[in-house]
Chains A and B, each alone.
Chain A
Amino acid sequence: MSDAAEQDLIDKFLSNDLSDNEQKDLKSMLNDNPQFLKEVVHQGHLSDVLKNEYDEALKADLLTKVPLLPERKEKAISLFYYAAAAVSLIFVSILVFALIQNNDEKDLISEYFEPYPVYSVERGETSSGIDGVEAYESGNYQKALDHFEQYGNLYQPDNRFNLVIGSSYLGLKQGGEAIRWFTPALSSDDKVIFNVANWNMALSEYLVNPDLAYKRFQSIAGDAGPYQKKAQAILKERYE
Chain B
Amino acid sequence: MKINLEEARDQFLSGDHQLLALISEEYGLYCVRYLTSKHICSQDEARDCFGDAIIVVRDVIVSQKVKEISNVRSYLLGICLNLYRKGIEKEQRKADKVDEIRSMLYEDNSNYLDEVIARENDVESNRMVIESFRELSEGCRSILHLYYVDGLKMIEIAKQLNMASVNVAKTTKSRCYKKWMEIVDKFKNKENV
Q: Which residues of A contact B (CB under 8 A)?
A: 4, 7, 11-12, 14-17, 26-27, 30-31, 34, 37-38, 40-55, 58-63, 65-69, 152, 156-157, 180, 183-187, 189
Contacts and interface: CB of A to CB of B under 8 A. Distances in A.
A187 B81 CA distance: 12
B11 interface: no
B36 interface: yes
Given A51-B149, A52-B94, A183-B74, A44 B29 contact: no
Nearest to A197: B74
Majority SS of interface residues in chain B? Answer: helix
Interface size class for chain B? 35 or more
A69 B43 contact: yes
B83 to A, nearest CB: 11
B104 A157 contact: no
Given A11-B154, A157-B82, A66 B29 contact: yes
B82 A184 contact: yes
B120 interface: yes
B17 A187 contact: no
The 3 closest A-B pairs by CB, nearest first: A66-B28, A184-B78, A59-B51
A31 B105 contact: yes
Interface in B23-80: 24-25, 28-29, 32-33, 36, 38, 43, 47, 50-52, 54-55, 58, 66-69, 71, 74-75, 77-79
B13 interface: no
Contacts of B144: 50
A65 B38 contact: no
A14 B148 contact: yes
A178 B98 CA distance: 38
Nearest to B154: A11
Contact of B21 (A37, A52, A65, A180): A65
A31 B106 contact: yes
B21 A11 contact: no
B153 A15 contact: yes
A63 B53 CA distance: 11
Contact of A49 (B81, B86, B129): B129
Given A7-B174, A30-B104, A41 B120 contact: yes
B8 interface: no
B116 interface: yes
A212 to B, nearest CB: 15
B21 A15 contact: no
Given A7-B170, A27-B104, 9 more contacts: A4-B170, A11-B147, A42-B116, A45-B120, A49-B130, A66-B32, A156-B86, A184-B79, A189-B68
